[in-house]
Amino acid sequence: MKLAHLILAHGQPEQLSRLIQSLQHPNADFYIHIDEKTDLTPFLKMRKNLNVFFIRKREKVFWGAYSIVQATLNGFEQIVASGIPYAYINLLSGQDYPLRPPGFIHDFLKENAGTQFMEFLSVDYEWHEALPRVKKYHLINYSFSGKYAVEKLLNAVLPNRKAPENLTFVGRSQWFTITLGAVRYILLYLREHPQVVRFFKMTWGADELIFQTILYNSAFKPAMRNENLRYIDWSEGNASPKTLTIADETALRNSGKLFARKFNSTTEPEIMDILDASFLKS
């Protein structure tokens, strides 16, 4: 079973290299998107691994903007264009790290072939804080003087936005593991429905909604499992999850997940060392 890890990164080349090495497997390839705002040079030494490919079409990625979606889509396009029959595409950030050895991960996905692993909470009934994202107008993808005043005016005078194509909105975490068939469907759907692209370009944090929503409103829905296989700690109540440390070792071991985020190999390398040691005993 071939697995493509699609990794979105913007810094810390040594940590990214460590992530790649931790997931090395005879049936794994790595597709790396480096934020176009970042100098690519420090990352190029990773090409010594024959199974590491850099996404050629790079995006300048901004938090909350559609550029994160586009970076992911660019990765999808290059993976599909490779012609390699991957069973799964696994979307990671450069600050993720596995909690189980690569052999276990490959076996798990082989045993669950066809399942789409992603979080998809209902925006209407479960994830209420996301309602303004899809109901209101957001100019996050535009840069001009007075942007926020214009955004405020639009939302004051215009009615709430309506879902294109009568889509039911679902989502939560942007990180997921889905089949190549699902990826092909997403690419085709967005090519055939430009109005959906336009809608999500005016949605804040579209990366946490668009992919789940497309699959949920398709024939892939029965194969979706509301589980993205990641341990993420939001207990600090910040816009970004907690950086994991050795204090989180027990929680990580007991999580039952395949991956976790986020880690920092510069400030908190010890927890990654502990995880590496546990791999050797698995």
Total domains in the chain come to 1
Give CA–CA dist 23/132, Å, rounded.
Answer: 38
Q: Which residue, chain included where needed, has tokens 């997931």?
A: 23
The residue among 278 and 256 whose pLDDT is bigger is 256
In this predicted structure, the answer to whether residue 282 has a pLDDT above a threshold of 60 is: no
Structure tokens at 181: 């068939």
Give percent of the chain above pLDDT 90.
Answer: 93
Considering the entire predicted model, what is its pTM? Answer: 0.95
With beta carbons less than 8 A apart as the criterion, state whether 61 and 35 touch: yes
Residue 10 has what DSSP assignment? S
Position 135 scores a pLDDT of 98
Least confident of 45-59, 79-93, 124-138, 215-229: 45-59
Cβ-proximal residues to 162 (8 Å cutoff; 6+ apart), any chain: none
Average pLDDT, the chain: 95
Position 240 scores a pLDDT of 87
In this predicted structure, the answer to whether residue 278 has a pLDDT above a threshold of 90 is: no
Cβ-proximal residues to 152 (8 Å cutoff; 6+ apart), any chain: none
Q: Which residue range forms the structural domain that includes residue 123?
A: 3-281
Q: Which residue, chain included where needed, has tokens 């052999």?
A: 103
Q: What is the pLDDT of residues 32-88, one digit of tens each?
A: 999 999 999 999 888 888 899 999 999 999 999 999 999 999 999 999 999 999 999
CATH classification of the domain holding 44? 3.90.550
Give percent of the chain above pLDDT 70.
Answer: 99
Helix (H) or strand (E) holding 15: helix 13-22
Name residue 121's beta-bridge partners: 171
**Average pLDDT estimate for 178-190:** 98
Give CA–CA dist 233/241, Å, rounded.
Answer: 6
With beta carbons less than 8 A apart as the criterion, state whether 82 and 251 touch: no
Residue 45 has what DSSP assignment? G
Q: Where are the alpha helices (DSSP H) in 84-193?
A: 102-111, 131-135, 147-157, 180-192
